[in-house]
Structure 1
Amino acid sequence: MKANYKFSNICGTVYRQGNVIFTADGNSLLSPVGNRVSVFDLVNNKSFTFAFENRKNIARIALSPDGNVLISVDEDGRSLLVNYKRGVVLHHFNFKKPVKDISFSPDGKFIAVTHASHVQIWKTPNHLAREFAPFELHRTYTGHMDDVLSIQWAQDSQCFITTSRDMTARLFTLHPVEGYRPKTFAGHRDAVLGAYFSTDGKTIYTVSRDGALFTWKGKVESDHDSDEDKKVSIASTSTSSLSLKIIHTRWGVHQRHYFNVPGSNVSTSSRPAKVITTSFHAASSLLVVGFSTGIFGLWELPAFTNLHTLSISQESISSLAVSPSGEWLAFGAAHLGQLLVWEWQSESYILKQQGHFLDLNTLTYAPDGQTVATGGDDGKLKIWSTQSSFCFVTFSEHSAPITGVAFARYGTNVLFSASLDGTVRAYDLVRYRNFRTFTSPSPAQFTCIAVDPSGEVVAAGSTDTYEIFLWSVQTGKLLDILTGHEAPVSTLEFCPEGTNQLASGSWDRTVRVWSVFGRSRASEPFALNSDVLALAWRPDGKELAVSTLDGQITFFDVAQSKQTNVINGRNDISGGRLADFRTSAANSTAGKSFNSLAYTADGRCVLAGGNSKYVVLYDVREGEGVLLRKFTISENLSLDGTQEFLDSRRVNEAGVNIDTLMINDDDDLNEERPVDTLPGAQRGDMSVRRYRREARTKCVRFSPTGRAWAAASTEGLLIYSLDASHSNTPNSGDFDPFELSIDLTPDSVLSTLESRSYLPALIMAFRLNEQGLIQQVFEGVPRGDIKLVVRQLPLIYLVPLMRFVGGHLKQTPHIEFGLLWVHALLMSHGRTLKAGGVSGGDLPSVLRIVKAALGECEETISRLCDENVSSLSYIVDQGKLVKQREQEGHERDVEMDG
């Protein structure tokens, strides 16, 4: 059993806060997710998340124009400089104050950063060389009387304009220009959120929060200096002609425009909506504005022609960006966790994703491992693709938090969910509809769900009646009600081996095993020392693992009805001190327990997660309870419970941690003052509850292939994988130095392939373990030699080859070539595989990968056949007609010869 799982992706959350940006080619979108950065490939319809983490939630991100350097800044101003193409952190740097905006110059040589009422310009560090002090300060600019909100560079990178809460904008030059004083653009009556240059540099646009757009134009200033003195002054600077035109212009307000977008609710319908964020595409002169009501508008400047006004969200738009081509608009809504990419010309969505805007409660893998279903406190059931990491369907029929989801073991087309609204629902994943709703005779809140392996019976446990309800999936009728527990039923699970046994755990400190389809309806109780939180069957159905409130994991032999082992995991899961704890993290084991368990496919290990920042993996073979590894789900200091030691400087005179008070003196521009507050009140209703989210894991599940596992955590749906990505593709990240020699190089492998020594070339490629090289050799083997190569292949390379073929089948259009390899492998080594006499990998997971690939090939071919029935019928008929004509011609020739 391998334990080197690494963070792979985040699926349950697509956007939290901060700004979204496009890459230089416009094909990808970068979005902050907590203290990580996710990248959405809009062309290939995939997404991935970088493994690096900031100390706190990310406030701003910026990408260099050449796409080599990514910088992410958290809420405190601490930043990470990252090699974007490799995802490697190069440097850490602290700007020492919260950053409202950060921007690379168009030439990529400088970075402009807001620093309260100041602006700092830093030289861009080299991403190829390691330096001791990579950040070098170029200049600090002053002049604003309040916080600077945005920075916009001119196209030649020689000057930039800033906006501030002091209701002004200022124009600065990168290098000192003799006789130049920064220009001030005043006249707005609210904070200025954005200022932009036109392409020719003759016009400047400023947008304020109250919905005002000012157009600034002017004429070139006339100096009293002679022409020679002016030429010398200009030549002494490195400022280009465009910037000279901008800085030597006497600017004045040319036009004033107002958006006047009405409010979305009754209380604000008489007032225009507030502007939250803006963006400008200079090449096409398009201004995009996002409002507090979830409406965005698209205006063409300088005519101020409204091209689009569309409501895309129920909450305010937190961030927006325009692609370099100007065709796509990206929007982020922090309150809903929503991310949209809109193509305004065709009026269609390129990307529309929304995560759970409340905590995730539960998750489950589909039997084929291709999808993951999640349920959250928002009452939504979402299904995510493990290949693309996108949510492709959302069910919102539940009206209360979802507490359990489950697939039938022998089918992926039906999904079940239980909720606190008193219903259990069944969903058809072919037509994407809720086709069955199960209810109890009397109202009850369901806390857990289980489906028998055949998918014919669904069971749910209640929290108020202490009963277990069983329904028939086919008819929807209530089959039975199991009684016996004396406290809320917390967990349910059917035996995976089809013995018709149902295990249930309850807060009454017992676990019962029910013979569901037997006549006696007998249940065998197992007594424990504390409340039962979770249980899991071993895949062979012979052992039951139970987690209790005291932090222990107890194992029972079901056949012999005896306890076999106990793991005291409270000390293993302890860690992470809450801000209001009076004890240290090492001693704060009270309340630490596992609320979710999952066995590996081979039954050797148990994965456990609970109300802690840790997820632990135990080896439970032969009565052992060895801790193999502890996984840290998050190091985000914005969450409570991620620090081992608290900062004593954050404690006031009363002994209370300042972080628990949640006092924010800064006015949030993204929030409007509630209309029902008293006049003069700045903070609204102080009785409104505010709390810090705690780092914890509510559910953990293994993928059916065993190559990955997922956790429903505070940060979202975290996926940890053995592979380079979360999908079941061949492992491409590790270098395996087995049986290597000095002469074994990629060139020698290719030369061996050119000499038609296909088997040695394939073995050499697997020794180097470079995916591109393996694929080149794999595709270079002729069709006629596949059987011979497979028959002579050493058994140690059988599992890696099968894993590669399974992943290759999912990506290649040459289906027949891949099927020839699979057929040759199974015909030549089928008996060996069945006997299990193969080493070098996890054989069950590899066979599942191949099976899933064959299933996808079957679906692809059948779909193509269904779509081309008429064409195939025509081709067959034409073949028969040609054959008939040939036969008639042959008979005619025979008659003429006769």
Structure 2
Amino acid sequence: MKFSYKFSNLLGTVYRKGDLLFTPDGNSVISTVGNRISIFDLKKSTTLPVESRFNYNALDLSPNGCALIAINEEGEAHMISLISQTIVHKYRFKRKVRAVKFSPDGKHFAVCKENNVFVFRAPGPFSGEYNAFVMERVFHGAYDETTCLDWSADSRILAVGSKDMATKLYPLDKWANFRICSLGSHTDGIVGCFFEEESYDITTLSRNGQTCIWECTIDPKDLVPIDKVPPPKKKKKSSSDSEEDDIDASKTLERTEEEMTAALGEVNLDDETETKKINKMFYKRISKIYLADEVRKENREAVLTAAAYHKKTKILVTGYSTGAFFIHEMPEVNMIHSLSISDQKITSISLNSTGDWIALGCGGLGQLLVWEWQSETYVMKQQGHANNMSCVSYSMDGQLIATGGEDGKVKLWNVNSGFCFVTFSEHSNAVNAITFSGNKKFVVSASLDGTVRAYDVIRYRNFRTFTSTRPMQFSCVAIDSSGEFVAAGGQDVFEIYLWSVKTGRLLEILAGHEGPVSGLAFSPIITSTMMVSVSWDKTLRIWDAIEKGSAHETIDLPADGICVAFKPDGQDVAIATLDGNISVFNVKTSLQVTTIEGRNDLGSGRSDTDLITAKKTLQAKSFTSLCYSADGECLLGGGQSKNVCIYNVRESLLLKKFEITQNRSLDAVDDFINRRKLTEFGNLALVEERDEREGGNVAVRLPGVRKGDMASRVFKPEVRIFSLQFSPTGQQWAAATTEGLMIYSLHSGLVFDPWDLQIGTTPAAVREAIAEEDFSNALTMSIKLNEANLIQEVIESVPLRDIELIISNLGEQYVQRLLIIIASCLDSSRHLEFYLCWIQHILTLHGPKISGQKNMPALLALEKNLVRKYDQISKICDYNKYTLQYVSTLGEIFSKKLKDESKMELESDEEDDKEDIESDDNVEVS
């Protein structure tokens, strides 16, 4: 088995905090998800393979859409290339950055830090600069922290708003008729400032909803470079003046305002044209509106938190702390639309290039919406779990993932698109366990509210609710391989309950455990009804409740059992215990197969508020989630740390360790506390830090609280791995972590992993065999080299008539590897019928040999890709079918209309003929 798993996507977290951006084409949204960046379009979500040491909070995209600037909470800026999806430059601002903005011409970008504004040259063909962070100008005019900025359409002037209730305008170059000016009239901090499209008119918005519209006295074309202003004329001094004045002539003369005005009156803008008097630049406030009045009727403490303006359509969107947003048409400030989308504040707003779509982000709920305001419909609506994601489960074909959270919700995610397509909210308390049925038709969840619920994946409804005879909290759940029975273990009552899925009746109550039941698992063998359970009473119990009732076999464990996992062949079972070890037992003989000592592999991590060292903390670490790989050879484990470990079960050996995050915005990531926080009075992290106007948020958690509390407190969450699950196809695995649902996929092209290699087996020899039409030998050698591209090249070189003959001569050991390669090729290739012929002949000729458990991952991967292709083609066929029906119906309507028109014309012609005949008869009679 290969271990070249790489991070591929992040699900379950669509938005945390920070800026939202639309791509230049207006079809995709760029969102910050913690210390990573995700891109959402209408079909798929992807997460960039870029990771920061802290959460990102400021973003901006270059006008050509190639370069992205992302700045984290600690002021570290990353210049990211969206073409190669890598970080190409880094820069440290060493302080928090509030906003960053590219100029419209793409030559510069400005950054707001503290009360300063820094202007850098942007790399690329426009500026001719290769280094990303070459500082050009610095402006120090603000008296408080700068909060927002905007460029004029010609990239000459920069408007910067700050908490000092003023908006200041700075020139990028020196202009004769422009001075740095400050626009006031606000009574709270500035949230947004926006230039108009082809003028210097500006709109400013403050936190209390005040909106001021300013009109500029000059147009952009009227700005005069300072080098075009002639120097002032020197006065001729008389002899008496020269005797009285004692002035050093070597000193530079300063221009007075009168002299500058006189010089401006003589500026010749165009050579050999008449002189033209140039006016100076001034601003006049033409209106002042209070936009927050409508919101404050319901909530007097509502404030404006985000704003966006589309310059072409003159549409202003404002978001408030109540979760409502308003759309106004400027400059008349006519309200077009209003909507409340959440109870939490709107933290970011963005408009696409056409102004039709509005992206709204709510950091409190992790909610991301794209709203089309003209049709009043949702283009995209995604929301992760409001609290930690506690459990995860794959469907049998690996296409769907079900997650349960501490917010009591169950969500279903599509692995290929990365979107959540249904949410079940029937539970009233945290969901502790979740699992898919073997036939992928329903999913079962167990909750602390005392119920076990079954959800129909096809009709999206809760069709069964299983309850116990007395109130209790369920901590684990399992479904047998046939999908007929559901079992759940109690956390406060130490019993296991068994129900029938068809009738919903309680069949059996299994008693015997003397502590909370922490793990349950049914045997994956279809013919077997065996079930195992582990508990805090240091025992593993093997049940056959369907046939033998409460009779069971007990195996003593060295420590409290935490979780249990069955091997895919149903022979062994792995148990994680509180002492940090993993024990493997044979369920038939009840003998211990092996023990893995994995506590030191988990790695330590010291929290900011810990009073003991990381080495001492490591003694309390243990695995909380286990999962076998698809072939059963390896074991995946994770727990109270940032590391996921893969072990070889037979050798009890650590094969690879994955570090899921480097985010220092989370707690317990580092092994040592920052020495800057340690003072003579103790650790500064233990001191509460209250923020102004934020509801009294504090940075220290309540005593004894580990999962978060319902009080208005904010603290750094501790990095943890709550649940792990291997995909049945063996191509990826998922981890429910503090960051969200992280997907790691297998990249076979990155690792050279030959099999049964010989001296003469080379790519050149394979291509030579293809040229000689020795396809059987070429296919065998390419499979030995185990390079996917080479195997695909050989497969597509084989004529259709020779496929059956080549497969019949293929050895059994080559069939599994060939199936995996064909499954991956089927996902990306257009030659669908050609590969279906290969699959048909392989299953026809080698079907009985590959039906075992060893080849199950390859068969599941094949099924997954075939189902996906079927869905894609069925959508295309349905679209073509309905389009043809529409065209044919339209043709019938037009033909009927033409017939009616021709019939009416004939009737009118006949009437005209009759009238002519009658008139002729009348003439003859007369």
Spell out the pairing of 1:44-59 with structure 2 (5 A cutoff). 45-59=43-57
Amino acid at match of 1:22: F
Alignment check: 8 A CA contact 2:179 2:281 kept: no
Q: 1:364, CA displacement in angstroms?
A: 0.5
Q: Secondary structure at the match of 2:267?
A: helix
Give the direction of change, closer, same or farther, for the CA distance of 1:378–1:130 in structure 2 (3 Å limit): farther
- Cα distance in 1 for partners of 2:839, 2:113 equals 61
- Cα distance in 2 for partners of 1:767, 1:113 equals 55
Q: Select the residue among 726, 737, 743 that pairs with 1:719.
A: 743
- Cα distance in 1 for partners of 2:177, 2:28 equals 43
Give the direction of change, closer, same or farther, for the CA distance of 1:777–1:628 in structure 2 (3 Å limit): closer
Which residue of 2 is the match for residue 816 of structure 1? Answer: 833
- Cα distance in 1 for partners of 2:589, 2:790 equals 53
Q: 1:767, CA displacement in angstroms?
A: 11
Amino acid at match of 1:508: D
Which residue of 1 is the match for residue 230 of structure 2? Answer: none
Which residue of 2 is the match for residue 650 of structure 1? Answer: 677
Alignment check: 8 A CA contact 1:83 1:127 kept: no
Which residue of 2 is the match for residue 238 of structure 1? Answer: none
Which residue of 2 is the match for residue 551 of structure 1? Answer: 580
Spell out the pairing of 1:468-483 with structure 2 (5 A cutoff). 468-483=496-511
- Cα distance in 2 for partners of 1:618, 1:355 equals 31
- Cα distance in 1 for partners of 2:882, 2:288 equals 63
Which residue of 2 is the match for residue 485 of structure 1? Answer: 513
Alignment check: 8 A CA contact 2:523 2:530 kept: yes
1:98-138: CA deviation from partner (whole Å, max 9, x where unpaired)? 01001112222222111101101122246999999752211
Alignment check: 8 A CA contact 1:99 1:114 kept: yes
Which residue of 2 is the match for residue 630 of structure 1? Answer: 657
Which residue of 2 is the match for residue 461 of structure 1? Answer: 489
- Cα distance in 2 for partners of 1:791, 1:157 equals 70
Give the direction of change, closer, same or farther, for the CA distance of 1:214–1:761 in structure 2 (3 Å limit): farther
**Greater gyration radius:** 2
Q: Secondary structure at the match of 2:120?
A: strand
TM-score normalized with structure 2 length: 0.82
Q: Select the residue among 699, 705, 711 that pairs with 2:723.
A: 699
Alignment check: 8 A CA contact 2:167 2:182 kept: yes
Give the direction of change, closer, same or farther, for the CA distance of 1:830–1:337 in structure 2 (3 Å limit): same
- Cα distance in 2 for partners of 1:599, 1:687 equals 39
Alignment check: 8 A CA contact 1:470 1:478 kept: yes
Spell out the pairing of 1:725-744 with structure 2 (5 A cutoff). 731=748
Q: Secondary structure at the match of 2:282?
A: strand
Q: Select the residue among 216, 226, 230 that pairs with 2:267.
A: 230
- Cα distance in 2 for partners of 1:791, 1:865 equals 35
Structure 2 residue 864 is matched with structure 1 residue 852: yes
- Cα distance in 2 for partners of 1:366, 1:109 equals 49
Amino acid at match of 2:305: I
- Cα distance in 2 for partners of 1:794, 1:496 equals 29
Give the direction of change, closer, same or farther, for the CA distance of 1:401–1:553 in structure 2 (3 Å limit): same
Give the direction of change, closer, same or farther, for the CA distance of 1:17–1:835 in structure 2 (3 Å limit): closer
Q: 1:774, CA displacement in angstroms?
A: 8.2
Q: Select the residue among 121, 124, 133 that pairs with 1:123.
A: 121
- Cα distance in 1 for partners of 2:660, 2:811 equals 40
Q: 1:865, CA displacement in angstroms?
A: 9.2
- Cα distance in 2 for partners of 1:806, 1:783 equals 18
Amino acid at match of 1:417: S
Which residue of 1 is the match for residue 445 of structure 2? Answer: 417
Q: Select the residue among 280, 303, 308 that pairs with 1:274.
A: 303
Q: Secondary structure at the match of 1:81?
A: strand
Amino acid at match of 1:702: F
Amino acid at match of 2:622: S
Alignment check: 8 A CA contact 2:177 2:281 kept: no
- Cα distance in 2 for partners of 1:324, 1:759 equals 55
Q: 1:186, CA displacement in angstroms?
A: 0.7
Q: Which moved more, 1:123-132 or 1:252-261?
A: 123-132
- Cα distance in 2 for partners of 1:865, 1:133 equals 51
- Cα distance in 2 for partners of 1:128, 1:371 equals 45
1:233-255: CA deviation from partner (whole Å, max 9, x where unpaired)? x99xxxxxxxx99x953111011
Which residue of 1 is the match for residue 99 of structure 2? Answer: 101
Aligned-pair identity in percent equals 40
- Cα distance in 2 for partners of 1:770, 1:302 equals 63
Structure 2 residue 361 is matched with structure 1 residue 337: no
Q: Which 5+ residue runs of structure 2 have no aligned equivalent?
A: 224-259, 272-276, 698-708, 886-926
Which residue of 2 is the match for residue 404 of structure 1? Answer: 433
- Cα distance in 2 for partners of 1:866, 1:129 equals 50
Structure 2 residue 480 is matched with structure 1 residue 452: yes
Which residue of 2 is the match for residue 259 of structure 1? Answer: 291
Spell out the pairing of 1:107-186 with structure 2 (5 A cutoff). 107-125=105-123, 134-178=132-176, 180-186=178-184
Q: Secondary structure at the match of 1:559?
A: coil
Amino acid at match of 1:9: N
Which residue of 1 is the match for residue 905 of structure 2? Answer: none
Amino acid at match of 2:353: P
1:192-214: CA deviation from partner (whole Å, max 9, x where unpaired)? 11111111214211111111221
Give the direction of change, closer, same or farther, for the CA distance of 1:775–1:617 in structure 2 (3 Å limit): closer
Alignment check: 8 A CA contact 1:495 1:502 kept: yes
Which residue of 2 is the match for residue 881 of structure 1? Answer: none
Alignment check: 8 A CA contact 1:341 1:352 kept: yes
Which residue of 2 is the match for residue 240 of structure 1? Answer: none
Amino acid at match of 2:550: R
Give the direction of change, closer, same or farther, for the CA distance of 1:566–1:431 in structure 2 (3 Å limit): same
Q: Secondary structure at the match of 1:590?
A: helix
Alignment check: 8 A CA contact 2:690 2:696 kept: no
Alignment check: 8 A CA contact 1:378 1:400 kept: yes
Give the direction of change, closer, same or farther, for the CA distance of 1:130–1:87 in structure 2 (3 Å limit): farther
Alignment check: 8 A CA contact 2:23 2:61 kept: yes
Which residue of 1 is the match for residue 19 of structure 2? Answer: 19
Amino acid at match of 1:81: M
Spell out the pairing of 1:590-609 with structure 2 (5 A cutoff). 590-609=619-638
The aligned length equals 826
Alignment check: 8 A CA contact 2:434 2:446 kept: yes
Q: Secondary structure at the match of 1:249?
A: coil
Q: Secondary structure at the match of 2:730?
A: coil
Q: 1:41, CA displacement in angstroms?
A: 2.3
Q: Select the residue among 186, 189, 200 that pairs with 1:188.
A: 186
Structure 2 residue 666 is matched with structure 1 residue 639: yes
Q: Secondary structure at the match of 2:836?
A: helix
Q: Which 5+ residue runs of structure 1 have no aligned equivalent?
A: 236-243, 675-684, 724-730, 837-841, 874-898
Alignment check: 8 A CA contact 1:456 1:474 kept: yes
Q: 1:700, CA displacement in angstroms?
A: 0.7
Alignment check: 8 A CA contact 2:472 2:493 kept: yes
Q: 1:771, CA displacement in angstroms?
A: 8.2
- Cα distance in 2 for partners of 1:692, 1:583 equals 18
Alignment check: 8 A CA contact 1:104 1:110 kept: yes
- Cα distance in 2 for partners of 1:130, 1:543 equals 64
Q: Which moved more, 1:820-829 or 1:55-64?
A: 820-829
- Cα distance in 2 for partners of 1:868, 1:496 equals 42
Q: Which moved more, 1:276-285 or 1:765-774?
A: 765-774
- Cα distance in 2 for partners of 1:291, 1:516 equals 57
Q: Secondary structure at the match of 2:866?
A: helix
Q: Select the residue among 320, 334, 339 that pairs with 1:305.
A: 334
Amino acid at match of 2:40: F
Q: 1:803, CA displacement in angstroms?
A: 3.5
Q: Select the residue among 452, 461, 465 that pairs with 1:437.
A: 465
Q: Select the residue among 649, 659, 662 that pairs with 2:685.
A: 659
Q: 1:499, CA displacement in angstroms?
A: 2.3
Give the direction of change, closer, same or farther, for the CA distance of 1:812–1:119 in structure 2 (3 Å limit): same
Give the direction of change, closer, same or farther, for the CA distance of 1:187–1:777 in structure 2 (3 Å limit): farther
Amino acid at match of 2:324: I
- Cα distance in 2 for partners of 1:791, 1:499 equals 34
